[in-house]
């Protein structure tokens, strides 16, 4: 019987946890997570929204930022445009990112018709800008989409805490904890290097700060 390496006994549970966190904090889920948080926070402009607007926001985000991008990626794999839905190869990331940008643009357009509060719309706009940066970088270097997504959410709510008189300390701490877990998971799975996860976080984080502060 072949002996089992001691390191493997510890690495397998860690890898399972890394896969769990990578799925839980998948970049395609970040916009809808943030949308739910925005709508549930006790801001005056959000509490005035009628209930049907809440569901309209969720349906639009589910359709344009999750379902349609997933469907497009599956179709690309079906027709051999990509080798894996994980998009592990940098050369295969451009077209999925382009379609994701288009879907996010459509999401911004339809949600803009609902006259939602400005900070939320600026969050969506900054997210599109981050995706454009990722697209440009992807032609030369593989950057972490996971940390770009969670970095954008961290930046959005940190900006909101500065602009609006509301205590978001526990929320922001939880988001940065999630960012750390996401980055660590990508490193443990050897999906990215430390520089790729750090760059991804910054690409998501700083556009949120810039757009929301400029608009305030």
pLDDT of 86 reads 83
**Contact yes or no for 152/125 (Cβ under 8 A):** no
Instruction: Express each pLDDT in 124-149 by its tens digit.
Output: 999 999 999 999 999 999 999 999 99
Comparing C-alpha atoms, which of 171, 165, 161, 169 is closest to residue 208? Answer: 161
Instruction: Express each pLDDT in 61-71 by its tens digit.
Output: 999 999 999 99
Q: How far is it, in rounded angstroms, from Cα 190 to Cα 175?
A: 23
pLDDT of 89 reads 84
Q: How far is it, in rounded angstroms, from Cα 24 to Cα 12?
A: 18
pLDDT of 117 reads 83
3-state SS, residue 169: helix
Q: Which residues of the chain have pLDDT under 70?
A: 1-10, 43-47, 212-213, 215-216
User: How big is the chain, counted in residues?
Assistant: 216
Comparing C-alpha atoms, which of 113, 115, 78, 81 is closest to residue 98? Answer: 81
Residue 154's H or E segment, with its range, is helix 145-163
Dihedral (CA of 80, 99, 88, 73) sign = negative
pLDDT of 98 reads 96
Instruction: Express each pLDDT in 81-98 by its tens digit.
Output: 888 888 888 888 999 999
Cα 124 from chain centroid (whole Å): 11
């Amino acid at each position: 019987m072949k002996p089992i390496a001691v390191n493997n006994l510890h690495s397998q549970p860690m890898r399972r946890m890394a896969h769990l966190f990578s799925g839980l904090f998948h970049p395609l889920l970040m916009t809808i997570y943030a949308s739910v948080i925005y709508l549930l926070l006790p801001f005056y402009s959000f509490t005035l929204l009628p209930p049907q607007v809440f569901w309209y926001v969720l349906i639009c985000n589910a359709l344009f930022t999750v379902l349609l991008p997933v469907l497009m990626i599956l179709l690309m794999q079906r027709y051999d445009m990509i080798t894996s839905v994980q998009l592990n190869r940098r050369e295969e990331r451009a077209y999925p990112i382009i379609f994701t940008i288009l879907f996010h643009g459509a999401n911004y357009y339809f949600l803009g018709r609902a006259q939602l509060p400005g900070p939320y719309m600026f969050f969506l706009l900054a997210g599109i800008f981050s995706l454009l940066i990722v697209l440009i970088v992807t032609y030369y270097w593989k950057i972490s989409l996971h940390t770009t997504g969670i970095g954008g959410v961290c930046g959005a709510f940190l900006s909101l805490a500065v602009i609006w008189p509301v205590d978001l300390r526990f929320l922001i701490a939880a988001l940065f904890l999630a960012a750390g877990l996401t980055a660590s998971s990508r490193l443990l799975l050897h999906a990215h290097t430390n520089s790729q996860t750090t760059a991804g976080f910054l690409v998501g984080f700083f556009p949120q700060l810039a757009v929301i502060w400029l608009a305030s």
